[in-house]
Structure 1
Amino acid sequence: MPQVWSAPVRFVECDQQGVVFNAHYLTWADEASNSWWAAHGIPWDAVAARVNPVVKASTLDWASSARWGDTVSVDAGTEKLGRTSVTVRFTIRVDERVCCVVRNTYVATDGGRSTPWPDDIRAAIEADLPAD
C-alpha cells in the first residue's frame, strides 16, 4: 500500500511564472521517504542508526507542472529490492494529475561501503514489494 505525503506548493518553490522549480520535486520525494520508512515500522532514525542509507541515484520523469496554490500529494511505494539497495517510486500529483515520478535508489552503507540490509529491515521492505 503506497504511503502518501502532501503539502501546499509554497511561493518560494516557484519561478516568476508560478511554476514549481524542478529541484523541489526531489525535496518532496525526500519528505515522503520519511513516511515510507515509518510505514514499514522502521522510522528513518532507527534505520540510520543501524545502516547509513544514501541516495545512489535519482531519476525524474515530468508529465506536467505543479503551480503556486496547488496542493501536491506524493505516493511512495517500493519498486525494487536488491541485496544492498532499494528503489522507491514517488508519484507526485496535483489532484489526480501526475506531475512527476521520482525514483530514488537507496543503498545501505557501513563505513562508506555498501552493506546488506539487516534481515528485519529487508523483511519489512519485502512485504511491500509488488507482486510479479
Structure 2
Amino acid sequence: MSARPPFTLPVTVRFSEIDVAGVVFNSHYLTWCEDAKVGFLDSIGYDPARFAAEHHLALVRHAEIDWVVSLRPLDRAEIRVTVDRVGTSSFTLRHEIWRTGADPALTASCVITYVWFDTLAGAKIPLDEHVRGALSAA
C-alpha cells in the first residue's frame, strides 16, 4: 500500500493483563489490536459514530498472531497499524506490537482480515468507494 508512517497506539502493560507465567496473557494482544483498529479507522474518518450512523461494521474474519518476545508488567509498547490489503468486501491490517523504551523490540505481529458488514441487512457487503479510498490512502 502507501509509504505513509503507520498509525500508532501506545500501550502500557497492566498487572491485570499478566498471566501466571508473568507475561501478557495471549488474548490481550487481540484486545489491543481491536483498540488499535478503532483508533486507526477513526484517524481515516471512520469513527464508531460514523459506523453506527451508516450501519456498517468491520468484523474480524481471520486473525493470525506470531509472538516473538514477551511483554511484562509495566512494559510500554506501541501498536503500529498498516494496511496490508484492500479487497472487494474486506481489508487486512497488520498490527506490529513493539516494546518501546531502553530495549525496543518487536514482540508480536497480528495480521487481521476484517469483513465489511451491513448491520441492517445482517450480511457482508462490498466496501464502499469512500472507505476503499481511505484505506488505500492510509
Please say whether Structure 1 and Structure 2 have the same fold, judged by a TM-score greater than 0.5: yes
Quick one: distance in 1 between partners of 2:108 and 2:53?
Answer: 31
Deviation per CA, 1:96-131: give whole Å up to 9, x if none: 301110111110122232211111111111112xxx
1:124 alignment partner AA: A
Match of 2:76 in 1: 71
Provide the secondary structure at the position in 2 that maps to 1:17: coil
Provide the secondary structure at the position in 2 that maps to 1:53: strand
Match of 2:136 in 1: 126
Superposed, which structure 2 residues align to 1:1-132 within 5 Å?
1-50=5-54, 51-95=56-100, 96-110=104-118, 111-128=121-138
Quick one: distance in 2 between partners of 1:125 and 1:43?
Answer: 13
Deviation per CA, 1:61-117: give whole Å up to 9, x if none: 111101112012100110101010000010001123011101111101222322111
Quick one: distance in 2 between partners of 1:126 and 1:48?
Answer: 22
Provide the secondary structure at the position in 2 that maps to 1:61: strand
CA contact (8 A) 1:64 1:99 kept: yes
Which structure 2 residue ranges, 5 or more long, are not aligned? none
Quick one: distance in 2 between partners of 1:4 and 1:92?
Answer: 9
Cα distance, 1:11–1:3 mapped onto 2, change above 3 Å:
same
Aligned residues: 128
TM-score calculated relative to the size of structure 1: 0.90
Provide the secondary structure at the position in 2 that maps to 1:108: strand
Quick one: distance in 2 between partners of 1:26 and 1:89?
Answer: 12
Structure 1 segments (4+ residues) deviating >6 Å: none
Quick one: distance in 1 between partners of 2:17 and 2:70?
Answer: 12
Quick one: distance in 2 between partners of 1:78 and 1:49?
Answer: 24
1:19 alignment partner AA: V
1:80 alignment partner AA: R
TM-score calculated relative to the size of structure 2: 0.86
